[in-house]
Structure 1
Amino acid sequence: MRSLFSCLFLILFFNVFAQESAKPEIKPIVKIDSLYREDQFYFSVTYNMFTDLPDKFKQNKFSLGLSGGFLRDMPINKSRTIAIAAGLGLSYQNYYQNLTISKDPAGAPVYAVNNYGEFVSNRYRQYSVELPIEFRWRNSTFESYKFWRVYLGMKFSYAFSNTSLLDDGENKYRINNNPDINKFQYGPYLSAGYNTWNIYVYYGLNPLFDSSTTLLTGEKLNLKTLNAGLIFYIL
């Protein structure tokens, strides 16, 4: 009798164990956001150049540009691969070149293009608030943050601070918030790439200086900015 009960117990034990082992795995339900947005923080690093150069104008050293801000994404198609975005940011632009800005006896700015041997150092820098508005194409999905993108936009900037520094070997000139600088600046830009790394190019449509600004030679100063580098997007 004892042997019979032992056999029955073993049969029941293995039967229950087999049933427990055969239970299907219950996976957690993952909620998929099919109405996702590509709201992003951006950060760019650029090499700053000029176009529409006056005679004998040259740049030296590395003219650095930095900008960063936030963009709000607004998809306009069902698959959310096309969107419009608007944002707000800050930028710092630094230029080394041989366009010198000194002062006349009355304190007014004087502009000239000098050879590099005629001064010790010369630079211009500005700080701006920027408003980018862009048209976006990307092949993103709600399942992946890695995708190809092409963003074409227009950037409007307000230069709230600018400074030019000149050391000609005899005198040092520092001009803050030069009234001849166009405070409102604007131009198109393009960013394209994959995932975090993207190339970036911006071209200023209006001159850096007011249209009435002239050099000592009488030539109109019509410099326009051209920035090229990398832009990074962070979700």
Structure 2
Amino acid sequence: MKIKFLLPAIVFLFVGLQAANSQENKTKEENKEGTAGQDGKAGKKKSAEISINFGKDDKSDTLDNENKKIRYPRSFGGITFTRVDWGFSRLSDDGSFTLSDDNQFMSYKKSSNFGFDVAQYGIRFTDRFKMYLSAGFEWNYWRLKNDVLLLQDQTPIQTEDLDPDGKFKKNVFTSTYLRLPLTFELRSHQLNNGKRVKLAFGAMTGVLLKGTQRLKSDKYGKQKFKDTYNLQTFQYGPFVRLGYDNFGIFAKYYMNDLFEKSPEQENLRNLAFGLTLGF
């Protein structure tokens, strides 16, 4: 599914889940208020989760569904759909956001970063701290300024100018990775509204799945090329997330080069930042 169709679908899904969860929580609160009217005690509000999980849950309350105190440490894990990152990619060329002559082929008009987790396993050590390993997917998109074609099956990376009569309207270069982050997460105590402040940090690693270049022009129509394009086979770097309830911001920096076996692109690295949903 193309990203321009995937993103609205995800947003629609989140809105639907949020509405359903809000209605469910509202019903629970009304029931609690009714009970409070009888015994004089009001229940604490719970925060709606923006995520889908199949497996052993990470309970966020001190009591489980059977009103038994949760014991730590405890494990959790399974299939999930959460920690959706949606933001921007910026290329750093030897510490500068201005690209050198050797890297001008990667000059971009717009760029974006998109990813999410689909599986996780972790341990909650206390109500305030947990660590987990997760797996998901991540895409970086660069809408290139120049009419250049990245050549397939070339090491080091090589480019050639596109047909000047082609009138190219679109030139997008994409990297696709399987991401494998190790996360350490801290959270505050429950606030009066039942929500928490969260801080997560760790190491974001990734295994290359493919590189893609998509072109659109009046003369040639839509074109699509796939190759590794000497993109880094295994990328790694630190990341951090800061959030409130289920929403937050993220930043991640990959410490190794964007391209491998390409000496002229040495120290060309990727920085991403933006918003996180389902945090």
Range class of TM-score, shorter chain: 0.5 to 0.7
Q: Are residue 159 (structure 1) and residue 208 (structure 2) matched?
A: yes
Q: CA deviation at 1:169?
A: 8.2
Q: Are residue 34 (structure 1) and residue 70 (structure 2) matched?
A: yes
Q: CA deviation at 1:127?
A: 2.1
SS in 2 for 1:60: strand
Q: Paired residue for 1:227?
A: 272
Is the 1:61–1:96 contact (alpha carbons within 8 Å) kept by the matching residues of 2? yes
Is the 1:203–1:227 contact (alpha carbons within 8 Å) kept by the matching residues of 2? yes
Q: CA deviation at 1:180?
A: 1.2
Q: CA deviation at 1:185?
A: 1.0
Is the 1:54–1:221 contact (alpha carbons within 8 Å) kept by the matching residues of 2? no
Structure of higher RCO (CA pairs closer than 8 Å, 6+ residues apart): 1
Q: Paired residue for 1:190?
A: 240
Is the 2:182–2:203 contact (alpha carbons within 8 Å) kept by the matching residues of 1? yes
Encode CA deviations 1:5-46: one digit per residue, 9 max, x unaligned.
xxxxxxxxxxxxxxxxxxx96x9x960443376867321112
2-structure distance, mates of 1:164, 1:30:
53
The CA RMSD over aligned residues, in Å, is 3.9
Is the 2:232–2:258 contact (alpha carbons within 8 Å) kept by the matching residues of 1? yes
Matching residue's letter, 2:277: F
Q: CA deviation at 1:190?
A: 0.3
1-structure distance, mates of 2:167, 2:113:
21
Q: Paired residue for 1:210?
A: 260
After the TM superposition, which of the residue ranges 90-99 and 192-201 deviates more from structure 2? Answer: 90-99
Encode CA deviations 1:85-142: one digit per residue, 9 max, x unaligned.
21111222222134633449xx64523799xxx972321112221111012211145x
Is the 2:181–2:202 contact (alpha carbons within 8 Å) kept by the matching residues of 1? yes
Question: Structure 1 residues 223 and 98 mapped into 2: Cα distance closer, same or farther (>3 Å)?
Answer: farther
1-structure distance, mates of 2:144, 2:205:
24
SS in 2 for 1:96: strand
1-structure distance, mates of 2:71, 2:122:
11
Q: Paired residue for 1:3?
A: none
2-structure distance, mates of 1:62, 1:198:
20
1-structure distance, mates of 2:89, 2:70:
40
Question: Structure 1 residues 112 and 197 mapped into 2: Cα distance closer, same or farther (>3 Å)?
Answer: farther
Larger radius of gyration: 1
Matching residue's letter, 1:58: S
Q: Paired residue for 1:46?
A: 87
TM-score of the superposition, structure 2-length normalised? Answer: 0.58
Question: Structure 1 residues 113 and 224 mapped into 2: Cα distance closer, same or farther (>3 Å)?
Answer: farther
Question: Structure 1 residues 42 and 155 mapped into 2: Cα distance closer, same or farther (>3 Å)?
Answer: same
Deviating 4+ runs (over 4 angstroms)? 36-40, 166-174
Question: Structure 1 residues 129 and 140 mapped into 2: Cα distance closer, same or farther (>3 Å)?
Answer: farther
2-structure distance, mates of 1:222, 1:173:
30
| Structure 2: gaps spanning 5 or more residues | 1-37, 42-64, 94-98
Is the 1:51–1:226 contact (alpha carbons within 8 Å) kept by the matching residues of 2? yes
2-structure distance, mates of 1:221, 1:119:
32
Matching residue's letter, 2:121: R
Is the 2:246–2:277 contact (alpha carbons within 8 Å) kept by the matching residues of 1? yes
Question: Structure 1 residues 97 and 176 mapped into 2: Cα distance closer, same or farther (>3 Å)?
Answer: same
Is the 2:237–2:254 contact (alpha carbons within 8 Å) kept by the matching residues of 1? yes
Q: Are residue 130 (structure 1) and residue 179 (structure 2) matched?
A: yes
Is the 1:180–1:209 contact (alpha carbons within 8 Å) kept by the matching residues of 2? yes
Matching residue's letter, 2:244: Y
2-structure distance, mates of 1:103, 1:231:
34
Q: Are residue 111 (structure 1) and residue 147 (structure 2) matched?
A: no
Is the 2:114–2:139 contact (alpha carbons within 8 Å) kept by the matching residues of 1? yes
2-structure distance, mates of 1:113, 1:137:
50
